Structure 1
Amino acid sequence: MAMIYSVFIALILLVCYFSITMGVFSVHPLDLLSTLFQINPNEQNSILLFELRLPRIVTAGLVGLGLGIAGAVIQAITRNGLADPGILGINAGAGAAIVGYLLMFKGQMDSQSLLSAMGMPFFGLIGGLLAAIFIMMFAWHGGGFDSGRIILVGIAINSGFSAISLYLSLKMNPNDFEMAMLWRNGSISAANWTYIQAALPWLLLFIPFLIAKSHVLDTIRFDEDIVKSLGISSNLEKLVLLCACVGIISACVSISGSMGFVGLIAPHISRRLAGVLHRYSLPLSGLIGMFLVLLADLAGKLLFQPTEVPAGIILAIFGVPYFLYLLFKQKKAVH
């Protein structure tokens, strides 16, 4: 396991290195080191590094970590390998609430104000919880999640909240509309330290909590009768775990918009490499999520110059075929 973790940490560091040194303005590695450690610092390099590229890298890493772990937990709760925060509509619910928050301020948002930024995860939590409530209402059957219904319900919820988000964004002034479009497409180009400060407490609270619940996640994948015989309240645990996931997803959506398919792909790769025990697969899923979002952001920044493609679109390009592959594989396994 240590070797697998080491490989992904090395890959993450490599992508971070390219993200820092490459772009519209390239930075020589020696200039990078001198700026990073404030040895004969250059003002232009300092602005480029500390105000533009480092916040972007940290944001991408946090979003990937959070969505990778949340996706793995949601798949364990629902017992469905196709479950993903984006597909189930939790991302869309959080995003619609955040767009509503932006609309309420009507141009008064200040991206450097911590108070303004702190409001976005709270509104995202409300929207994400609302989406989760709809999922439980329509996909809950016979004392548990119906795996056959949950994807259909999620797609419907996703479409509904996306339509609400689009409707609200059309009522904004041009500046706020542009900001809302970044959230809808899943972009990290507007990253700054203020947004990171607003999201970090949520991630520091819920990610360790979910990892500490690894033994519960290992247990609830068994039949309900077995879980009850072990003295575990399955439905209560699922509710608590789902709320923690929504908190993480809301924080991630508030700083990056809707990043789809990270929570789908990362857990699958993690389980193949680390097995089904969550104390191993959960942290690895977070690392894989970090790698995917960092790589997507780097690709969107470099491959389409002079324009830039949001990381969410890059992830969707690869995520949709992977989702269809999993859907076909699951259908084949049933037959």
Structure 2
Amino acid sequence: MIHPSVIKKQQLILIILSALTIFTIFISLGIGASSLSYNRLLPTFLGNGTFKEEFVLFSIRLPRIIITFLAGMALALSGAILQSITRNDLAEPGIIGINSGAGVAVAVFFLFFPIEAGSFTYLIPIFAFAGAFFTSVLIYFFSYKRATGFQPIRLVLVGVGFSMALSGIMIVLISSAEREKVDFIAKWLSGNIWGSDWIFIYSILPWLIILIPFVFYKAKRLDLLSLNEPVVVGLGVSINKERVTLLIAAIALASAAVSVAGSIFFIGLMAPHIAKALVGPRNQLFLPVAILIGGWLLLLADTIGRNIVGPDGIPAGIVVAFIGAPYFIYLLLKK
């Protein structure tokens, strides 16, 4: 049973995070290459803005903000799942190679398959999932030993190796491609929020609507999977079945996110850690906090990145990496 004081603390943190998110959205709506006066936001929302104001707000800013926030939520939840099922605090979809697997699949799809504009948006998360799933199967296979079982630290090392190998494959794929396609993939790899239209929201939202409630439903199972295997088996839990099911959910969440937001690292690493530090390690408590932190962090990174320098700004993935890479090194040294 969770103590009422802990629940109250979680609720307070959720309120604070919601307020931070709303404030960041408000700031993000008003700044950019085409500035929008803050005192014109409400009239424009109510349909009393000029054509330019409505175009900037509804066609450029708002869909990008929603996509960024949803992608951050998905990456954070994916990282939380991976850390629980592998019992490894360093597990994260970008670090262990899932993002790279999705990236290669997206590159193959984009470069070699005939694409129709209407179907491209909805097919790209499916191809990303297929690539990430195949990569995860290989990583899991090479991380498992019959004598000692599943090796969490080995998973991270194998995942990093696969990530580097897949990056090499990506370079080979784009080396002879057309300039426009190479530019798109380069932006994707740097974590640029490229899916900045309403149709991309419709492509990622169904994945989150299904998977977030499913993972919350499995929160107690995640708590058990973070324990030692003999203890879990003694409690009557089918470890392999639960682990594979939740691993597929984590892969699907990461694939949906990177298919519209590009290859973004470290959100899935930092958000669960910060949430656990705030409310404790129980999944029922920290998962809601983690997904809000993930959404807010990526939204904040994109807001800073697209306004810090030049007309094109800096991709959100690079801004996140400035914070996440030192944090990863700190965790690596600590563990």
The 5 A counterparts of 1:64-75 are 64-75=72-83
Segments of structure 2 that go 5 or more residues without pairing to the other structure are 1-9
Q: 2:121: which partner in 1?
A: 117
Identity in percent: 37
1:96 aligns with 2:104: yes
Q: 2:3: which partner in 1?
A: none
- Could you tell me how far 1:190 is from its partner in structure 2? 4.2
* Separation of aligned partners in 2, 1:159 and 1:254: 19
Q: 1:234: which partner in 2?
A: 239
Aligned mate of 1:325, from 321, 324, 330: 330
Contact 1:103/1:171 (8 A) holds in 2: no
Aligned mate of 2:132, from 128, 147, 158: 128
SS in 1 for 2:236: coil
SS in 2 for 1:41: coil
- Could you tell me how far 1:109 is from its partner in structure 2? 5.1
The 5 A counterparts of 1:195-234 are 195-234=200-239
Cα RMSD after superposing both structures: 1.3
Aligned mate of 1:84, from 63, 78, 92: 92
Q: 1:333: which partner in 2?
A: none
Segments of structure 1 that go 5 or more residues without pairing to the other structure are 331-335
* Separation of aligned partners in 1, 2:209 and 2:107: 24
Q: Which amino acid in structure 2 is aligned with residue 72 of structure 1?
A: A
* Separation of aligned partners in 1, 2:174 and 2:12: 46
1:171 aligns with 2:179: no
Q: Which amino acid in structure 2 is aligned with residue 124 of structure 1?
A: A
1:62 aligns with 2:70: yes
1:260 aligns with 2:253: no
* Separation of aligned partners in 2, 1:215 and 1:199: 26
1:7 aligns with 2:16: yes
Q: Which amino acid in structure 1 is aligned with residue 39 of structure 2?
A: L
1:301 aligns with 2:291: no
Q: Which amino acid in structure 2 is aligned with residue 31 of structure 1?
A: R
Q: Which amino acid in structure 1 is aligned with residue 130 of structure 2?
A: I
1:250 aligns with 2:260: no
The 5 A counterparts of 1:24-63 are 24-38=33-47, 40-63=48-71
SS in 2 for 1:126: helix
* Separation of aligned partners in 2, 1:144 and 1:266: 28
TM-score, normalisation: structure 2: 0.94
* Separation of aligned partners in 2, 1:155 and 1:30: 48
- Could you tell me how far 1:147 is from its partner in structure 2? 2.3
Q: Which 4+ stretches in 1 moved above 2 angstroms?
A: 141-145, 169-172
1:194 aligns with 2:211: no
Q: Which amino acid in structure 1 is aligned with residue 132 of structure 2?
A: G
* Separation of aligned partners in 1, 2:257 and 2:85: 20
- Could you tell me how far 1:144 is from its partner in structure 2? 4.1
Contact 1:124/1:251 (8 A) holds in 2: yes
Contact 1:102/1:109 (8 A) holds in 2: no
Aligned mate of 2:151, from 143, 146, 150: 146
| Structure 1, 65-74 or 140-149: larger mean CA deviation | 140-149
Contact 1:64/1:262 (8 A) holds in 2: yes
TM-score, normalisation: structure 1: 0.94
Q: Which amino acid in structure 2 is aligned with residue 213 of structure 1?
A: K
**Superposed CA offset, 1:27-58 (max 9, x none):** 112211111111x2211011101111011100
* Separation of aligned partners in 1, 2:63 and 2:150: 39
SS in 2 for 1:188: coil
* Separation of aligned partners in 1, 2:218 and 2:50: 47
Contact 1:75/1:82 (8 A) holds in 2: yes
Q: Which amino acid in structure 2 is aligned with residue 8 of structure 1?
A: L
Aligned length: 325
